[in-house]
Structure 1
């Protein structure tokens, strides 16, 4: 179902005189815009404030929350080098990331897991072992020691970067065998001997148990935590020395990425947020925007915008940019939509640079994938898009034009910030279009540098812009 808040206006204008734009483009002020129909779709629900990253300005940090909101870095990928040096590697990156405009980093699960020095952390054993206990065949985690983790968080905060922990609350691994009265068998559900001595749990804390046979979902055959049990609730989010409050108040994490939230009810994240606080985003892997919105509202949390992800994949790789007119979470509620191009689990979009141009100019809280930024894409182009997002991408969104190869949208500005017009061109040749802007009799420029035009908007705010082949341009007032 389309967003009922979308207002569709059909604007048409008769071509009186045709002018081709040259490098000066001053002559545009005397011409009239081309006769083409624009379907202008206004997304009117966003007030233009920065998104809920929880960031506050700092006089010492290099990044300050700007009108466009924050940019998150997923600071890992699947199978990052083992050996306990990843936290140190990230510590060498955060100053440059802050200088580029990154406002937060998302870390992999930080606690000791069953696979010890080789685990990516998604099979948690001891939530309070950050690489400081000899357990599961190692003292350090795959990523490093507790001391190195604390040093990374401290360094990130000194650069005014927030740090989000990846929380795996659905399942546990690495427990000892015990006689399970609920199954009549032996199960690996005895976690009373974890090295930290904290969050002891037994078969009574996993499904099936006295509370029932199951909840919303189990994963990988691991013991499935029963969040309805008082012991689990106490240790995860209620106790002052429990997981959530220890991570926030002692380890100094600023927020949470919740793994596999399909596995338990949204009330779990809602209760965590109410008792612990901090930014939160859930991995509800579903392309149905109605389902994403339902989960975000009931969890009182942001959610990864998988609807946007799959639409971008079909649009950019399938040469059908019309699909960007379709409904997505960022259009429903941009304050609860975390947009992304790829992550450690899925990497389907081939035309990534255009996808990043899309999420970094549109509403939502955009996430950049470590390998895209550090290894695979042009870092200068990425830095440019981050700057554009932080400084120009403000206000509501109006989709001005879309066909198979071209997509043009306008951010309408907010509180004195002029906004922008983004032109994405997925064809093999330069394209030009007349578009309605927010600006009257104003010189504009392409802040990507992909076009050298310096056109001036007409008295009715229309202007002719261009975009290079298989690329994009981003226009705003030349100031």
Structure 2
């Protein structure tokens, strides 16, 4: 429900125990009007276009999300086992994919725009497919260097697989996992890439996640970004880039192009919520080695890190949910909330039919829809209300228990311990009674104090809007 400031006086402290993923009723969401859209990105990874469109209308807009990030829309490799990573092996720039037809894609974009949600696509522009065969639109490839969009001369001269990750030239000019590396130093190649992205912008797409940006020279990528059309709203498209830290090139080299995915942020969430003490987060910020705040696109998990164990994932249940609550409350960079499917094996494809086409998202079954979790939808609104306000009133009354506010607009308490915790917190939020936006009930602030009982692996949050 939308947060409300109430004048009723009774104290009723209630909270949500984050014991799992709670589904958010679309019918309830549709009735939840008046929540403004902010900057939070819902990363609906490999949802089909029809399901994305429905989620924009039923959940993302009512909760106050600002954008949806979707899977690579181009035609990709289709092999018998239908692995998830097939979509990162482009066959052609046709917008017919395992997620739906070009018409389905356009309908999704239009529907999301109608709900006030921007659309960002995953742009696989560093390489073409390492495997020959047939794509989802029927394109046949017999030579991995010769595709409908590129011929062998468009690939980099280095055809070996990257092995020396300390050699920046090798990282950016040789083949990532045997994927033919496009020679982006050539103007003709850059024009083709920009043309593919501009085709999407002209259909209404508002921005891009640049896959494998680390493997593209930053000057080349800057030239591609500079050639992009403005969006339908008249803005430059939003850009966020996949640049793993730790080996050259440096993350900061890409700031001129847009935001970067903040892998260090995600690692910090695991280290503190997954075995550390969240009280340590009192000093959380750029001193932790995070990407520059102005260019940080934060996340708790993504499709790679949930599989390699570098970050928390849906398999961590309440712990991962609570880390997302903190992400939305703390306010650093631009946050993403990740929702995908449950998996038993790393290569496992999303649920689909026998031909590999992805089925409609079923949040009561094979999918883990964190974007709908009551705690997350409540905190998206909280995050929007607190935007621009400084962290205030930080308190840690016990190990793995914290409370803090954002100016005088909102306050949140998080309990990452194994038992409930009660404490009287100091808050700058004005006296009054407020809805607990992550669960049922209300809280009352009196004399700048609020007594909260926060359940194990749970949170309480309220704000004035």
- The TM-score with structure 2 as length reference comes to 0.69
Per-residue displacement from partner, 1:320-345 (whole Å, max 9, x unpaired)? 21442344589764442222222222
Which of 116, 121, 127 pairs up with 1:171? 127
Q: Is the 8 A contact 2:412 2:462 kept in 1?
A: yes
Task: From the superposition, tell whether residues 398 and 391 of structure 1 become closer, same or farther in structure 2 (CA, over 3 Å).
Answer: closer
Mapped pair 1:95 → 2:57: yes
Q: Tell me what 1:124 maps to.
A: 90
Q: Is the 8 A contact 1:284 1:303 kept in 2?
A: yes
Distance across 1 between alignment mates of 2:218 and 2:451: 47
Which of 225, 244, 249 pairs up with 1:285? 244
SS of structure 2 residue aligned to 1:360: helix
Which of 411, 414, 438 pairs up with 1:448? 438
Which of 344, 360, 365 pairs up with 2:334? 365
Distance across 1 between alignment mates of 2:188 and 2:35: 40
Which of 48, 56, 67 pairs up with 1:104? 67
Q: Tell me what 1:223 maps to.
A: 180
Distance across 2 between alignment mates of 1:65 and 1:335: 22
Aligned ranges 1:187-206 → 2 under 5 Å: 188-191=144-147, 194=148, 199-206=149-156
Q: Is the 8 A contact 1:76 1:108 kept in 2?
A: yes
Q: Is the 8 A contact 2:130 2:178 kept in 1?
A: no
SS of structure 1 residue aligned to 2:121: strand
Q: Tell me what 2:305 maps to.
A: 346
Aligned ranges 1:416-435 → 2 under 5 Å: 418-433=408-423, 435=425
Q: Is the 8 A contact 2:433 2:444 kept in 1?
A: yes
Q: Is the 8 A contact 1:423 1:473 kept in 2?
A: yes
Q: Tell me what 1:183 maps to.
A: none
Q: Tell me what 1:476 maps to.
A: 463
Q: Is the 8 A contact 1:425 1:470 kept in 2?
A: yes
Which of 75, 82, 95 pairs up with 2:44? 75
Distance across 2 between alignment mates of 1:101 and 1:89: 18
Q: Is the 8 A contact 1:448 1:473 kept in 2?
A: yes
Q: CA deviation at 1:64?
A: 7.2
Q: CA deviation at 1:310?
A: 0.8
Q: CA deviation at 1:302?
A: 1.0
Distance across 2 between alignment mates of 1:441 and 1:92: 39
Q: CA deviation at 1:450?
A: 6.2
Q: CA deviation at 1:23?
A: 6.8
Distance across 2 between alignment mates of 1:475 and 1:255: 32
Q: Tell me what 2:454 maps to.
A: 467
Q: Is the 8 A contact 1:205 1:231 kept in 2?
A: no
Q: Tell me what 2:196 maps to.
A: 243
Q: Tell me what 2:3 maps to.
A: none
Q: Tell me what 1:143 maps to.
A: 99
Distance across 1 between alignment mates of 2:175 and 2:181: 6
Mapped pair 1:258 → 2:210: yes
Distance across 1 between alignment mates of 2:392 and 2:257: 27
Distance across 1 between alignment mates of 2:187 and 2:68: 32
Q: Is the 8 A contact 1:206 1:224 kept in 2?
A: yes
Q: CA deviation at 1:115?
A: 2.9
Distance across 2 between alignment mates of 1:65 and 1:440: 22
Q: Is the 8 A contact 2:72 2:87 kept in 1?
A: yes
Distance across 2 between alignment mates of 1:452 and 1:65: 22
Mapped pair 1:405 → 2:400: yes
Task: From the superposition, tell whether residues 149 and 447 of structure 1 become closer, same or farther in structure 2 (CA, over 3 Å).
Answer: closer
| RMSD (Å) for aligned C-alpha atoms | 3.7
SS of structure 2 residue aligned to 1:92: helix
Distance across 1 between alignment mates of 2:334 and 2:169: 37
Q: CA deviation at 1:370?
A: 2.2
Total equivalences in the alignment:
372
Aligned ranges 1:22-61 → 2 under 5 Å: 24=11
**Whose radius of gyration is greater, 1 or 2?**
1
Which of 386, 395, 402 pairs up with 2:389? 395
Distance across 2 between alignment mates of 1:365 and 1:213: 30
SS of structure 2 residue aligned to 1:207: coil
Distance across 2 between alignment mates of 1:420 and 1:330: 27
